[in-house]
Amino acid sequence: MDIRKIARRCVLELSDYVPGKPIEEVRRELGLTDILKMASNENPLGTSPKALEAMMQDLKENTHYYPEGSAPMLTERLAALLGLRQEQFFVNNGEDGVIAAIGLGFIDPGDEVITSQFTFPAYKNVTGRMDGKIILTPMLPGYRFDVDAILSAVTERTKIVFLCNPNNPTGTIISRDAFDRVISRVPEHVLVVCDEAYYEFAEDPDYPQTIPYLEKFPNLMILRTFSKAMGLAGVRVGYAIAHPEIIRVLNKVKDPFPVNRLAQVGALASLDDHEFIQRSVKAAREGRQQFYRTLDALGISYCPSQTNFVFIDLGQPAQPVFEAMLRQGVIVRPLGPQGLPNAIRITIGTREQNERALQALAIALGKTL
């Protein structure tokens, strides 16, 4: 078979997405049993207890029923919490599902999509799937978005600007002033998609609160997720907040039942689990400081983070370090596939998990804690 005669050219040209290595895969490959995964920014405290309780009850009673396709109870609750209208929300199968719907709804072949050089690869992937053209602008020192470079790249062909804030994988933020410059200068025909998957962890006073911008800028779309602070990564639920006309387009391209019953029930219950969310944010804040102290002592470069992970520039090829840590049973994320061959990203865990990961890193680098 010549697959080139069957498949779409733009799909064949896509780079494969490389996720964080699963525990099960490491167990099979290396025969290890004591494995610590710190590669995918999952919540080290587990899942919101209120979400778990609600999902277990629904599992017993309603698994034989289809879910509601538009997750109306969840969108109604989100609207009440954020002071918006229900028709401004779109829920899908994780943020990845939302981003895929954005591509289906808005990117035509040849459209240009702008983002930064080192950011979440889903933006490049969805642009390629839709046969669009990705424009990657260089970053400023300290791995920060260069919003002036982004603005300079806007043309008549530009359809979307993706801003990841806080940014994955660097953990840095786009400041309020920088965000103001983008949203006020981008033409109205260009969607500005602000991906706030790590919103709950951002504590910098200069981090922009974007919800109030929605009223003035109808081309703004905000993305958020239940995967991180609520610990619901396994059931997949993310959402977009935007002008109702944008939401109508997304609803036209969604699957009939994109979010399963358990995800909807768990997400709804997790919104009331303030104690768990606060503990998750506190663990990330304290874990960041634990990482900084040890990395400073080891003389290893990193980016101060506004997320639940730390970006580390090793100053040497990261793949051998990743493999050496893997042999110790610690999974981290090497960033070579994202164009950063000397960098790794480590999820912040509990104090004990952080100690183990930092010890494994030191051993892999031939250093002593």
Residues 84-119: tens digit of each pLDDT:
999 999 999 999 999 999 999 999 999 999 999 999
Q: Which of 202, 204, 239 is nearest to 224 (CA)?
A: 239
Q: What is the pLDDT of residue 134?
A: 98
Instruction: Please compute the mean of the pLDDT values over residues 288-316 and round it to a whole number.
Output: 97
Instruction: Please compute the mean of the pLDDT values over residues 269-280 and round it to a whole number.
Output: 98
CATH architecture of 49-270: 3-Layer(aba) Sandwich (3.40)
Domain 3-46+274-364, CATH number (from 2.102.10.10, 2.60.120.700, 3.90.1150.10, 3.40.50.1820): 3.90.1150.10
Average pLDDT of the chain? 96
Banded model confidence at residue 337, pLDDT cuts 50, 70, 90: very high
Q: What is the pLDDT of residue 16?
A: 79
Return contacts of 318-324, CB within 8 angstroms, 24+ apart. 318/342, 318/343, 318/344, 320/364, 321/361, 321/364, 321/365, 324/360, 324/363, 324/364
Distance between CA atoms of 271 and 264, rounded to whole angstroms? Answer: 11
In tens, the pLDDT along 151-176 reads: 999 999 999 999 999 999 999 999 99
Q: Which of 140, 37, 41 is nearest to 94 (CA)?
A: 41
In tens, the pLDDT along 24-39 reads: 999 998 999 999 999 9
Is it the case that residue 17 has pLDDT exceeding 90?
Answer: no
Q: What is the pLDDT of residue 18?
A: 72
Is it the case that residue 20 has pLDDT exceeding 90?
Answer: no
% of the chain residues with pLDDT over 70:
100
Residue 59 host element (H or E): helix 49-62
For the chain, what is the largest distance between any 2 Cα atoms, rounded to a whole number of angstroms? 57
Judge residue 168's burial from the number of C-beta atoms within 10 Å of its C-beta, 0-12 exposed, 13-18 middle, 19 or more buried: buried
Is it the case that residue 19 has pLDDT exceeding 80?
Answer: no
Q: What is the pLDDT of residue 83?
A: 98
Instruction: Please compute the mean of the pLDDT values over residues 354-364 and round it to a whole number.
Output: 98
Q: Which of 128, 240, 239, 252 is nearest to 191 (CA)?
A: 240
Query: Same fold for the domain at 3-46+274-364 and the one at 49-270?
Result: no
67, amino acid identity: P
Banded model confidence at residue 334, pLDDT cuts 50, 70, 90: very high
DSSP 324-346: HHHHTTEE-EE-GGGT-TTEEEE
Annotated domain spans of the chain: 3-46+274-364, 49-270
Q: Which of 346, 344, 322 is nearest to 335 (CA)?
A: 344
Tokens representing 211 are 């919800």
Find the Cα–Cα–Cα–Cα dihedral 214, 258, 100, 46, rounded to 10°: 80
Distance between CA atoms of 361 and 369, rounded to whole angstroms? Answer: 10
